[in-house]
């Protein structure tokens, strides 16, 4: 076995460190032992250093396998729900419950991170407020969709059969006022909870800091999920998929490129695993994913929201989908770093251990949270979609 490095490479990582002994010359190692002397320090460092390296590589392989397996399961579930929701008469009827579950779990993780920073808003008030925000976004638009003929809608009644406030949900009421009203009431709940909790033993300064933490949770999760829901309800399934595909494909390629080619750290103190090479791979993937999305995915799911020409719906001009991919990709990176900042403040590596190989739920959603408003603005102001035009 001495010198047989090829055989060593074929050996399972868990047993390689024994065979590494054979890579040291017999005269250097066994001769010293036969003479009653201690093994040379350099040889010891070589063996145990190599053993530690093999052990670390083995752990990385196991975690990578878990990461791939969990990711594939999540993707399969998401594809199934997207297909069901796309065919449903009530838009969002399948995806909205998923959003509620993700929001509740994500809020619980965020409050745990804030507690690690010494900030403890009233959990029940924050959870109720976040649920109120996304419900105020989805429900009026879902009711309005049932009474308004249009692509993807199956009208089941007339406007007179629903509340008057919901009859205009597709206009200013649904797009701005309802979500804003939900956020306002949620803020009131957080304030009320802190007022009721404050007593004669209240520590000066803690109420203000808990209020700040609660308001932050409402904006960081409740408002962002509200825009995510609104992206699906107001612009269609294609708009939602354009965000998810561009961001998550970029995340995946950034991780792979960083593992394979990473040499230069991007933000070493905040996120040691991120590299400049990973960022370059991510941006290329964001651009490619945007092209794929607007060439095939969006026209297939919702051709009516694509720019119309005499020959039929077409994808946006190249500069438009390229700009969308880069804008959403960079804001996704900012969302990832923002969550890393919170975790570092709480002295935590992961937001939780819900997902083996991936960390917590916030570790999966972080890049989507800040990319959502960027994608919403791109659709709302016509960078992409039917208002963009073909040029």
**pLDDT over 70 (residue 312):** no
pLDDT band at 98 (very low <50, low <70, confident <90, very high): very high
User: Could you report the per-residue pLDDT of 79-90, keeping only the tens digit for each?
Assistant: 899 999 988 888
User: Could you report the per-residue pLDDT of 137-176, keeping only the tens digit for each?
Assistant: 999 888 877 766 544 443 333 333 434 444 444 454 556 7
**Strand-pair partners of 166:** none
User: Could you report the per-residue pLDDT of 162-217, keeping only the tens digit for each?
Assistant: 344 444 444 545 567 888 999 999 999 999 999 998 876 566 678 899 999 999 99
The mean pLDDT value for 112-117 works out to 95
Q: Look at strands 271-275 and 265-267 and give their pairing.
A: antiparallel
For the packed helices 123-147 and 206-217, what is the interaxial angle rounded to 10 degrees? 30
Percent of the chain surpassing pLDDT 70: 68
Mean pLDDT rounded to a whole number for the chain = 78
Write down the pLDDT at residue 48.
42
Q: Give the lowest-confidence range in 3-7, 17-21, 57-61, 307-311.
A: 17-21
* Torsion angle of the four alpha carbons 344, 350, 352, 355, in this order, in degrees rounded to the nearest 10: 160
Place of tokens 């909205």: 96
Give me the residue spans of the domains in the chain: 1-87, 91-235, 236-391
């Amino acid at each position: 076995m001495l010198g047989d490095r090829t055989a060593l490479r074929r050996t399972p990582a868990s047993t390689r460190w024994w065979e590494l002994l054979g890579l040291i010359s017999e005269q250097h190692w066994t001769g010293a032992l036969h003479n009653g002397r201690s093994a040379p320090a350099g040889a010891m460092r070589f063996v145990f250093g190599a053993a530690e390296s093999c052990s670390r590589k083995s752990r990385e392989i196991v975690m990578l396998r878990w990461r791939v397996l969990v990711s594939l399961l999540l993707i399969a579930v998401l594809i199934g729900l997207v297909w069901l929701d796309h065919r449903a008469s009530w838009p969002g009827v399948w995806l909205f419950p998923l959003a509620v579950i993700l929001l509740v779990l994500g809020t619980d993780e965020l409050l745990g991170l804030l507690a690690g920073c010494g900030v403890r808003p009233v959990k029940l008030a924050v959870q109720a407020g976040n649920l109120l925000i996304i419900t105020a976004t989805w429900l009026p638009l879902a009711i309005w969709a049932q009474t308004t003929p249009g692509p993807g809608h199956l009208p089941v009644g007339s406007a007179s059969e629903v509340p008057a406030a919901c009859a205009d949900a597709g206009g200013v009421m649904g797009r701005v006022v309802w979500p804003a009203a939900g956020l306002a009431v949620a803020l009131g709940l957080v304030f009320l909870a802190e007022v009721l909790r404050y007593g004669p033993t209240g520590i000066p300064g803690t109420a203000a800091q808990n209020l700040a933490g609660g308001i932050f949770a409402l904006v960081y999760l409740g408002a962002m999920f509200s825009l995510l829901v609104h992206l699906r309800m107001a612009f269609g399934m294609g708009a939602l998929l354009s965000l998810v595909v561009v961001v998550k494909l970029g995340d995946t390629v950034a991780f792979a490129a960083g593992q394979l080619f990473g040499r230069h750290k991007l933000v070493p103190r905040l996120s040691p695993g991120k590299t400049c090479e990973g960022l370059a791979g991510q941006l290329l993937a964001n651009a490619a994913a945007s092209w794929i999305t607007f060439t095939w995915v969006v026209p297939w799911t919702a051709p009516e929201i694509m720019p119309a020409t005499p020959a039929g719906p077409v994808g946006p001009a190249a500069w438009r989908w390229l700009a969308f991919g880069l804008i959403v990709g960079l804001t996704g990176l900012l969302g990832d770093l923002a969550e890393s900042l919170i975790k570092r403040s709480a002295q935590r590596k992961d937001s939780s251990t819900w997902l083996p190989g991936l960390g917590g739920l916030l570790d999966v959603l972080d890049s989507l949270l800040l990319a959502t408003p960027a994608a919403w603005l791109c659709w709302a102001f016509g960078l992409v979609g039917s208002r963009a035009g073909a040029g």
